Chain A
Amino acid sequence: MKIILRSILLLFVILSACDPKKGALYKQRQLEKQQTPAVEINEDEEYVMVTTIVNFPMYVNHDQAAFQRWGRARGVKTSILGPSEWDVQAQIATIEQVIGTRPTGLLINGTDPAIAGAINKAVEAGIPTVVYDSDIPNSERHAFLGTDWYQIGKLQGEAMVELIGGKGKVAYMGILGMTNMEAGFQGLLDVLKNYPEIEVVGKYDDGSDVEEAARITSDLLSAHPDLAGICGFDAMSGPGIGLSIKEAGKAGKVKVTTVDWEPEHIKLVQEGVIDVLIGQKRELFTWYGAQFLFDMVHDTNPLSSNDDKAGITNIPYSVNTGLLKITQDNIHLFMEDHS
């Protein structure tokens, strides 16, 4: 009898362990279910992204790639429009002209507060509108996803303080005059001002140009042989700073923190030229931004019997997608994805 009872108990334990809800096949099916849209997709559905410097590698590799991947996964049409230069006026013109073509949803790169008027026109026209990257104050956008540029500067400042032991000469560069970057500069300065032994030697405009960033760095190294660190704020700052530092044989001696994590940045961290990278999770901006538009259009999560009438939107109002920090310690994890 005991043997029978023990066998039944053992069988029960084995069966419990084989819970179909935990099996690989079950998981795969669940994943497929999640990936298959529960809603009917209209074949005319078109989600339009309006950005600026449309062929900028960082935008292409992260924002646009994720947006297009999302479109393919959902089976809807995606279009990417915008000027090929940093031209706020041209971006506004594009938004305003796209409104007339009645896209299903608009995903707008929040480049400058001046685009608020165009965003409001889209919202007034009844087009679901999501802003990503930087928020646009005074706009009626339905949702925003992005990062806080002040925080980007603050993180760089904290990293720099640690790298140089709280003393020495520090310079920084980026695109002067851009609202988000100026917020980043402020974040950096707010951290550095707490360290009286740190001297900020200058703020420079590299115009998001590798050669210009390299030239500025080279001049800085000549003018301040005791320079302790440099912080870079646009995608080209890191490669430019890195180039000059390598040429001057100062890798490791002058500490470098920059933004973004393109393959060239990753390589410079690997070589010990850049010490810290502060990266944005840009893929999340546009993947979830597009998904928010989709959910709004398809009323995926209704909150009332009629959300429109109730004056609410059924998507998050604001999402901070957060930042990532890349150093020698975790670089290998990012190289796998960018090899």
Chain B
Amino acid sequence: MNRDKITRLLQDRVFTLSVTIAILFIVCSIIWPATFPTFDNISLVLLNLSIESIVAVGMMLLLISGMFDLSVGSVVAFAGSIAAYLMYWYGMYVSVAILVGLGLAGLIGLINGFFVAKVGINPLIQTLAMMGIVRGLALMVAGAGIQNLPEAFNAIGQSKLLGLQTPVWFMIIVVAIFSLLVSRTVFFRQYYYIGGNEKAARLSGIRVERVKIIGFVLISLLAGLAGILLASRLGAALATSGRGMELRVITAVILGGASLLGGQGKIIGALLGTIFMGLVSNIMILARVSGYWQEIVLGLILILAVAVDVLAQRRAGTTPREYVKRASEVTPPKVEA
């Protein structure tokens, strides 16, 4: 293998993260042979990261186009709460209640997308405001939480297939579908063009607003799906679900290769990012590292991820000063075609 090829591989976050995860796996298997590499432990790690991975897929898509959504955690709580509310208080069919939950989640995404893409509101402001509104709605709907949900609903998140709990399979399906869509379809390639250079994308005939709106709808739908799976897994809908999820998901996605500047990232990177964070969390529990360290570790991982991104960009010719400047311009200025 020549030097250029090695350099390219080392710059590929999917490759480096996969290697890091593999090394972590081997080291932990040696340190805790009886507890870490067991099927029970690994399936639990996958189960615990499955909900966030589904949301991370949507966040990766948005970050590829240079946007992000801070309302995802609230949408997770809201979608689960509304479905549970309809089933519990109105005896609605499980399937219909789930569809309503997903539909309303999609509507939230549509509103976010409309205000960001059409009206031109900064995604930070728009989704931050939506985060508060949707959390309030979830609180109104679920109150102190809704328990005793129908068995048919609980079975969705609590059943197992080949030893793995259903949310893990949902995660695998979502990652597989979006990986294929993003790598094989022309429509999803447009997110890279928009993230890479919105002006050029617009001039080349891409309907930027429409693509952006669809991006927000998709992430909200995925957050809705995650919320329904979470409520089903817990057997309860909690208005407090998903608090702080947006930060964890963005961390995982940046770790998985997305750039704050947009135009970069692969869907599989989102999964690898959440797997890495899930493993770190598992290791801290096995090593009995106090929970005090979790925030610190999460912060350090985020800094590490962004530092790697800055270094990669520097190789591509972007200075750290330019990087910070461009990263803070979350909404590129509108350019008339």
Which residues of chain A have a CB within 8 Å of any CB of chain B? 48, 51, 54-55, 79-89, 92-94, 96-98, 100-102, 112-114, 116-117, 137-138, 176-179, 181-183, 205
Indicate which residue in B234, B240, B285 contacts A81 across the interface (CB closer than 8 Å): B285
Contact A177:B291 (CB < 8 A) given known A85-B243, A88-B234, A97-B285: no
Which residues of chain B have a CB within 8 Å of any CB of chain A? 35, 38, 40-41, 44-45, 48, 51, 138-139, 142-145, 147, 158, 230, 234-236, 238-244, 281-282, 285-286, 288, 290-292, 294-295
Residue of B nearest to A88 (CB): B238
- 16 new A-B pairs (CB below 8 Å) besides A89-B51, A113-B147, A114-B147? A51-B291, A79-B290, A84-B294, A86-B243, A88-B238, A88-B241, A89-B230, A89-B234, A92-B234, A94-B285, A96-B48, A97-B48, A100-B44, A112-B238, A112-B240, A179-B144
**Within the assembled complex, what's the spacing in Å between the Cα atoms of A304 and B24?**
48
Residue of B nearest to A60 (CB): B292
Q: Which residues of B contact A101 (CB under 8 A)?
A: 35, 285-286
**Within the assembled complex, what's the spacing in Å between the Cα atoms of A137 and B145?**
13
Contact A93:B238 (CB < 8 A) given known A55-B291, A83-B294, A84-B292: no
Task: Judge whether A81 and B48 touch: CB under 8 Å.
Answer: no
Q: Which residues of A contact B291 (CB under 8 A)?
A: 51, 54-55, 80-84
Task: Judge whether A177 and B243 touch: CB under 8 Å.
Answer: no
Residue of A nearest to B141 (CB): A177
Q: How many whole Å from A202's CB to the nearest CB in chain B?
A: 14
Task: Judge whether A177 and B139 touch: CB under 8 Å.
Answer: yes
Task: Judge whether A84 and B236 touch: CB under 8 Å.
Answer: no
Contact A97:B282 (CB < 8 A) given known A55-B291, A84-B292: yes
Q: Which residues of B contact A94 (CB under 8 A)?
A: 285
Task: Judge whether B44 and A177 touch: CB under 8 Å.
Answer: no
Q: Which residues of A contact B240 (CB under 8 A)?
A: 86, 88, 112, 177-178
Q: Number of contacts between A and B (CB, 8 Å)?
A: 104
Contact A114:B41 (CB < 8 A) given known A80-B291, A84-B295, A178-B144: no
Closest 7 CB pairs of A and B: A54-B291, A182-B144, A177-B239, A93-B48, A114-B234, A114-B236, A79-B288
Residue of A nearest to B242 (CB): A89
Q: How many whole Å from B247's CB to the nearest CB in chain A?
A: 10
Residue of B nearest to A138 (CB): B147
**Within the assembled complex, what's the spacing in Å between the Cα atoms of A83 and B44?**
16
Task: Judge whether A177 and B144 touch: CB under 8 Å.
Answer: yes
Interface centre among B48, B138, B143, B288 (most CB of A within 10 A): B288
**Within the assembled complex, what's the spacing in Å between the Cα atoms of A96 and B40?**
10
Contact A179:B145 (CB < 8 A) given known A80-B290, A83-B291, A85-B243: yes
Residue of B nearest to A78 (CB): B288
Q: Which residues of B contact A113 (CB under 8 A)?
A: 145, 147, 236
Task: Judge whether A87 and B243 touch: CB under 8 Å.
Answer: yes
Q: Which residues of A contact B292 (CB under 8 A)?
A: 54-55, 84
Indicate which residue in B35, B145, B285, B294 contacts A114 across the interface (CB closer than 8 Å): B145
**Within the assembled complex, what's the spacing in Å between the Cα atoms of A137 and B51?**
25
Contact A85:B44 (CB < 8 A) given known A93-B281, A179-B144: no
Task: Judge whether A177 and B238 touch: CB under 8 Å.
Answer: yes
Task: Judge whether A100 and B139 touch: CB under 8 Å.
Answer: no
**Within the assembled complex, what's the spacing in Å between the Cα atoms of A81 and B147?**
26
**Within the assembled complex, what's the spacing in Å between the Cα atoms of A96 and B281?**
12
**Within the assembled complex, what's the spacing in Å between the Cα atoms of A223 and B242?**
33
Q: How many whole Å from A138's CB to the nearest CB in chain B?
A: 8
**Within the assembled complex, what's the spacing in Å between the Cα atoms of A98 and B139?**
31
Q: Which residues of A contact B142 (CB under 8 A)?
A: 177
Task: Judge whether A117 and B285 touch: CB under 8 Å.
Answer: no
Q: How many whole Å from B296's CB to the nearest CB in chain A?
A: 9
Q: Which residues of A contact B236 (CB under 8 A)?
A: 112-114
Q: How many whole Å from B156's CB to the nearest CB in chain A?
A: 14
Task: Judge whether A117 and B234 touch: CB under 8 Å.
Answer: yes
Q: Which residues of A contact B144 (CB under 8 A)?
A: 177-179, 181-183
Q: Which residues of A contact B38 (CB under 8 A)?
A: 100
Q: Which residues of B contact A117 (CB under 8 A)?
A: 158, 234-235
Q: How many whole Å from B144's CB to the nearest CB in chain A?
A: 4
Q: Which residues of A contact B235 (CB under 8 A)?
A: 114, 116-117
Q: Which residues of B contact A96 (CB under 8 A)?
A: 44, 48
What are 22 inter-chain pairs, A to B, with CB distance below 8 A? A55-B291, A81-B288, A82-B291, A84-B295, A85-B243, A85-B244, A86-B240, A88-B234, A93-B44, A100-B40, A112-B238, A113-B236, A114-B236, A138-B147, A176-B139, A177-B138, A177-B238, A178-B240, A179-B144, A179-B145, A181-B144, A182-B143
**Within the assembled complex, what's the spacing in Å between the Cα atoms of A84 and B291?**
6
Residue of B nearest to A118 (CB): B234
**Within the assembled complex, what's the spacing in Å between the Cα atoms of A237 and B51?**
32
Residue of A nearest to B144 (CB): A182
Q: Which residues of B contact A100 (CB under 8 A)?
A: 35, 38, 40-41, 44
Task: Judge whether B41 and A97 touch: CB under 8 Å.
Answer: yes
Q: How many whole Å from A127's CB to the nearest CB in chain B?
A: 14
**Within the assembled complex, what's the spacing in Å between the Cα atoms of A92 and B292?**
17
**Within the assembled complex, what's the spacing in Å between the Cα atoms of A178 and B41?**
30
**Within the assembled complex, what's the spacing in Å between the Cα atoms of A217 and B326?**
40
Residue of A nearest to B158 (CB): A117
Q: How many whole Å from B286's CB to the nearest CB in chain A?
A: 6
Q: How many whole Å from A52's CB to the nearest CB in chain B?
A: 9
Q: Which residues of A contact B244 (CB under 8 A)?
A: 85, 87
